[in-house]
Structure 1
Amino acid sequence: MSVLALARAEIRALTPYSSARMEASGGQVLLNANESPWAPAAELELNRYPDPQPPRLRAALAALYGVEPAQLLMGRGSDEAIDLLLRAFCRAGEDAILISPPTFGMYAVAAAVQGAAVLKAPLDAQFGLDAAALRAQLTPAVKLVFVCTPNNPSGALVPLALIDELAAELAGRALLVVDEAYLEFAGAPSAATLLARHENLVVLRTLSKAHALAGARVGVLLAGAEIVELLRRIMPPYPLPTASVDAALAVLQPAALAQTRERIAVVLQQRELLRAALSALPAVREVLPSAANFLCVRWRDAAGTYARLLAAGIVVRDVTRYPGLHDCLRISVGTPQENQQLLALLRGMAEAA
């Protein structure tokens, strides 16, 4: 008998989240993981255990996101915050989460690991949040409602007024978890501005995208102090390595923040350039509106396009398995040079067809 027979059957049967790095390796132009195309620099010392919630970093992040330090929990990317929320609020075999696909796959994976059911209220035809469908799927078992804005992988933004409305409706029933991993690219106010109004509101932020620290894995949960303290009870003792803390402090310095703002401006300009250029290609059916640092693109031949790009060393994200995106590839906005390399290849493919 295999030792794995001792493990939970649902874990053995679980389809794990498939990350961008797992799906495609190699390549010279990496446009598949929504990372910043620029790298930061940091000098590190690693001989001591790190503080579980480093005060300097907690204060800097609280200032960045406009909350009190007691309302902030740092962890290993947003993924750890999602996992902690599932473990704290969902009883295996009894409770459920509610998601709006197509959306970030880790919500459902974390629920499956915890043994929580996953209820679904699909996005509308324009990939906006369907509030009526969301309300229709609410049951007493639902403890967490996940809203991703801008949504990954489709790119649409959820209006702050709708988040405010939903949080009020869910009071006493469930937590509304708003994932804002890409909000810096949207030019929109954060749901964190609503924390004082809703004790059941949780906001997820990250330094992985706009702040170029995908490799450091620094995620932030913003919520009422009582939720933060509850989650700390089940959190491992040293969630952030010293190297990650030092890197985060470095990118939160004034000069680094100014550089980040400049780079965000470049990303936004390049996003619109890519949108216009891709829309003009005969191989493209549609470029979905996006408020993030990526574009979700419908192709006449998504599989063939993906294969030809990969063969040329350009890695994009195949999202055809997501509901409503059967013909889509997601393209992260790269440096101007990388974007031009992508467009040159696609135009060459069109001319050769």
Structure 2
Amino acid sequence: MSIVDLARTEIRALAPYSSARMEASGGTVLLNANESPWAPMDGDGLNRYPDPQPRALVEGLAALYGVDAANVLVGRGSDEAIDLLVRAFCRAGYDAVVVSPPTFGMYAVAANIQGATVIEAPLADDFSLDADALLGRVTPAVKLVFVCTPNNPTGNVVELSTIERIADALAGRALVVVDEAYAEFAGSPSAATLLDRHDNVAVLRTLSKAYALAGARVGTLVARADVVALLRKIIAPYPLPQASVDAALRAIDADGLALTRRRIATLVAERERLRTLLPTLPGVRGVLPSSANFLTVRFDDPRGTYAALLAAGIVVRDVGRYRGLGDCLRISIGTPDENARVVGVLAARREAA
């Protein structure tokens, strides 16, 4: 049995849209896609549709994530991959997904849009993932289990052994989708290393965070080749604009990778400096351990602190609506100067008190 057998019957049988760019390649006189033969005033080549899955980018990302090109699907950020997975595997009104709050909200949003049931397996009080509790919430209707590591908004890592245990238990029953949007800041082994042994593991990666391309919207699904082929049936014909493809290729070339490594080192050092410094400031109750590019901080007066930071031109994330985080703000790690401004505002609140 293939994990794809769990997908919706009508999706497995679907004849996907066949774009002009998919049906023919090569040639220099392109008269098959009803494009303008002239480039726009600013943007050479933008008169042509981009490659649906650009070979150079797919191969570059495959090398970056240590998998074969057949295991890679590129799209508009991780959000598109989440949506595609839910649409492919979950029948409206019948199937379900499992999420572990507090966690990234798009899993539940995509499921709700599709009409799939959202089953919650909350994180433990220390925000660790309890595999037994999660597995106990899995019903026969569950087709997807989402695991975020490092988790957003808490920043904690789920051990690879825990993910493998969940995948083992759900073999032939559900696809375990591991969201590694912040993995570059953690230094932990990727769940992509499980693909050879588990066909029911898929991994979400993105260039939005560590690679500084949030505006380009380039995300990657890493999964078994049959899962990638299934999702290619329902992905938009041309998911990535050429400008985004070009930006992504620059980000993962030798110079781009070297720059990213330096920036990650700076962010991690700043994260650890702030993790130690912030608890020394009055009004700060504590800082959650984080392996991401942010810190979630408990405050005596989170709303007042948010307002003070905003008045100083500093925007942070109020995560008080999340389970167990009612007194928390999430603070992204900025440049050293930006981080110093945050500390300055918090210190000034101490003096004012």
Classify the TM-score, shorter chain: 0.7 to 0.9
Partner of 2:94: 94
Q: Does the aligned pair in 2 maintain the 1:300–1:327 contact within 8 Å?
A: yes
**Alpha carbons 2:308, 2:345 under 8 Å: kept:** no
> Distance between the aligned counterparts of 2:86 and 2:119, measured in 1?
14
Contact kept in structure 1, 2:167 and 2:200, CA below 8 Å: yes
Q: 1:45 Cα deviation (Å)?
A: 4.8
Consecutive unaligned residues of structure 2, counting only runs of 5 or more, are 1-42
Q: Is the 8 A contact 2:149 2:183 kept in 1?
A: yes
Which residue matches 2:170?
170
Q: What's the offset of the Cα at 1:44?
A: 7.4
Distance in 2 of aligned mates of 1:95 and 1:219? 25
Alignment of 1:141-220 (within 5 A): 141-220=141-220
Q: What is aligned with 2:332?
A: 332
2:54 aligned partner:
54
Give the SS at the match of 1:221: strand
Displacement of 1:47 after TM fit? 2.4
Cα distance in 2 for residues equivalent to 1:352 and 1:135: 50
Q: Which residue of structure 2 aligns with residue 245 of structure 1? A: 245
Q: How high is the sequence identity, in percent, across the aligned residues?
A: 67
CA distance in 2, matches of 1:132, 1:196: 24
Tell me the amino acid that sits aligned with residue 105 of structure 2.
G
- Judged with a 3 Å threshold, the aligned counterparts in structure 2 of structure 1 residues 44 and 104 are, in CA distance, closer, same or farther, namely farther
Alignment map for 1:1-353 (pairs within 5 Å): 45-353=45-353
Higher Cα Rg: structure 1 or 2? 2
Kept in 1, the 8 Å contact 2:299–2:328? The answer is yes
Partners in 2 of 1:259 and 1:47 — Cα distance?
32
Question: 2:95 touches 2:117 (CA, 8 Å); kept in 1?
Answer: yes
Structure 1 counterpart SS, 2:204: strand
Q: CA RMSD in A?
A: 0.9
Structure 2-normalised TM-score? 0.87
Aligned residue number for residue 18 of structure 1:
none
- The structure-2 alpha-carbon separation of the partners of 1:145 and 1:195, relative to structure 1 and needing over 3 Å to count, comes to same
Distance 2:103 2:184 in 1: 18
Measure, in 1, the Cα distance between the counterparts of 2:308 and 2:286. 19
Give the C-alpha shift of residue 256 in structure 1: 1.1
Distance between the aligned counterparts of 1:283 and 1:294, measured in 2?
Answer: 19
1:168 counterpart SS class: helix
Unaligned runs of 5+ in 1: 1-42
**Distance of 2:88 and 2:136 partners within structure 1:** 25
CA shift, 1:195, in A, is 0.4
SS in 2 for 1:315: coil
Name the aligned partner's letter for residue 216 of structure 1.
Answer: A
The CA deviation at 1:131 is: 1.0
Q: Give, in whole Å, the separation in 1 of the partners of 2:221 and 2:279.
A: 37
TM-score (norm 1): 0.87
Between Structure 1 and Structure 2, how many residues are aligned? 311
Greater relative CO, 1 or 2 (CA 8 Å, sep 6+): 1
Q: Distance in 2 between matches of 1:173 and 1:192?
A: 19
SS where residue 314 of structure 1 aligns? coil
SS at match of 2:230: helix
Instruction: Report if the CA contact (8 A) 2:95-2:143 is conserved.
Output: yes
